[in-house]
Amino acid sequence: MSPKSSYIMQRNNVKISGIGKQTMMLAHGFGCNQNLWRFMLPYLEETYQIVLFDYVGSGNSDFSAYQQDRYAHLEGYALDIIEICDTLNLKNIIFVGHSVSSTIGWIAAKQRPELFSHLIAVCPSPCFLNIGTEYQGGFDKQDLEQLMQLMDKDYIGWGNYLAPVLMGTDLSPIGPSKDEKDVLVHELLNSFCSTDVTYSKPFAQATFFSDYRSLLPEIKHPCLILQSSEDSLVAINVGEYTHNHLQNAELQIIEAKGHCLHMTRPMDVIKHMKAFLINNK
């Protein structure tokens, strides 16, 4: 492996597992890391070669590789994906993105379509903003600006607000009566708060203030959209909008609360993924 390839593998903390001939890349969402795919991993490794990674500035990536200009926009994160694919000589992979990584995957697919065969989006949104009467992404710009200000003033408080919203549950104390969702929301909170605001705030701004709706009609790959029935971050109308504007898409709504179906409903996600991939060979 060349020095450049070794650098990229270390930079993004790339991990490869599984025994299949077909490669599947799992891309984590904002504030998360590759470990949050672990609920699905054992089942996918039976069929696919799995590529996991952390975006620069997240998880166990090499934070010294962070470039402010590059990661101020989602295109910088898409470049991470493209460089990992080129380093591993990957083509025609199945790309699975959670939340904003769905958009990042679409950006990469537009730039380098040969790298992907199928795109699977878990709770995606091409735009989180409310834009007039034409599009309701879920948030007024002023509310998002206040959320960004909270990151500066009270980073822990910001995490305490956002983690339960994403997980679809309250932030209950961990105790003897804890259930699985209590544990998961605290894990998500720890993931948020373990990342320096220097890296997480630009990623948050690139995530929540961007508008990639115009990109959707340009994506030609078969796409699966997995939407939670009760998602405080991405409402069903956003999933329907995304479905209607992609060229070749399927929408499946999973009865669940929260924005992290790969953690709370992993077997449902796998079931729909397998059916989609069989029907779109």
Could you confirm whether 86 is annotated as catalytic? Answer: no
Nearest Cα neighbor of 82 from 100, 99, 106 is 106
Q: Say if residues 221 and 277 touch (Cβ distance below 8 Å).
A: no
- Report the relative pairing of strands 23-27 and 49-52 from DSSP bridges: parallel
φ/ψ of 72, rounded to 5, equals: -80, -10
138/32 Cα distance (integer angstroms): 21
- Alpha-helical (H) ranges within 88-196 are 100-111, 141-153, 155-167, 180-193
Under DSSP, the state recorded for 32 is: -
Q: Which of 54, 80, 182, 231 is catalytic?
A: 231
Two structure tokens written together for 250? 């399927």
Two structure tokens written together for 197? 């605001």
Could you confirm whether 177 is annotated as catalytic? Answer: no
91/71 Cα distance (integer angstroms): 24
227 contacts: CB under 8 Å, gap ≥ 6 = 123, 234, 236, 239, 251, 252, 253, 254
Q: Which of 98, 118, 259, 272 is catalytic?
A: 259
Could you confirm whether 54 is annotated as catalytic? Answer: no
69/184 Cα distance (integer angstroms): 33
Assign residue 89 a region (left: φ > 0; alpha: ψ between -120 and 50; beta: otherwise). left
Under DSSP, the state recorded for 224 is: E
Q: Which of 61, 99, 191, 210 is catalytic?
A: 99
Two structure tokens written together for 217? 């009609």
148/158 Cα distance (integer angstroms): 9
> Which residues are known to be catalytic?
99, 231, 259
